[in-house]
Amino acid sequence: FFFQAEDGIRDFCLSRGLGDVYKRQEYMGEVIRNLRAESPFRILAMDIGRTVTGYAVSDNFVRKASYWSSITTLAGPLEDKNFNQKVLSILRKHGISGIIYGKCSTGPMNEYFTKVMEAFIKETQVKCPITSVNEDYTTMASRQIINHVNNLAGTRVMGEDEKDAISAVLILEKFIEELNQK
């Protein structure tokens, strides 16, 4: 797979570099549309945080989120020596074919998200398509969902600890929506 990177074109299979969001999303969308009709193709969506990373897994044909949870780290994904192995374990357990991670349109966390994914790629040598999607407002939206569910139930059914997993579901749903519009 080839993706347009911020600093030039890279061969994904060889360098596994991260690249330009829109061109990679378009290409990854094309790959998924071609493959999902013929065989299972599952996507892992990640909402990377300083101590909690939410994740969601698509169904076999990238039509909806079928599972979600989170990974908690004491020091953060870059500092936690087990983080990359935890993500790799999720890839294997769910038969993941591609990864999507959320990035804000602006802000200091973008560099951090990119560093986390580059460290993951370097350490694990994973060879699947990886792209980012804009995650502006997913944290706010996930908090609103939690508040709404709790208000409907009349008690605390969902807590702040589920915010990152819900954000990952929203990231995945956004990608699926964009994928199906093309």
pLDDT digits (tens, 9 = 90+) for 32-61: 666 555 667 889 999 998 889 999 999 887
Residue 179 near residue 45 (C-beta atoms within 8 A) = no
Higher pLDDT, 21 or 123: 123
- Copy the structure tokens of residue 102: 């959320």
In three-state secondary structure terms, 138 is helix
Return the percentage of the chain with pLDDT > 90, whole number.
Answer: 38
Residues 110, 48: Cα–Cα separation, whole Å = 10
On average, the pLDDT of the chain sits at 79
Q: Which helix (H) or strand (E) holds 117?
A: helix 109-124
Residues 144-154: what's their mean pLDDT? 92
DSSP for 152-175 reads HHTS--S-GGGHHHHHHHHHHHHH
Q: Which helix (H) or strand (E) holds 22?
A: helix 21-36
Residues 113-126: what's their mean pLDDT? 90
Give me the pLDDT at residue 9, please: 30
Is the pLDDT reported for residue 11 higher than 60? Answer: no
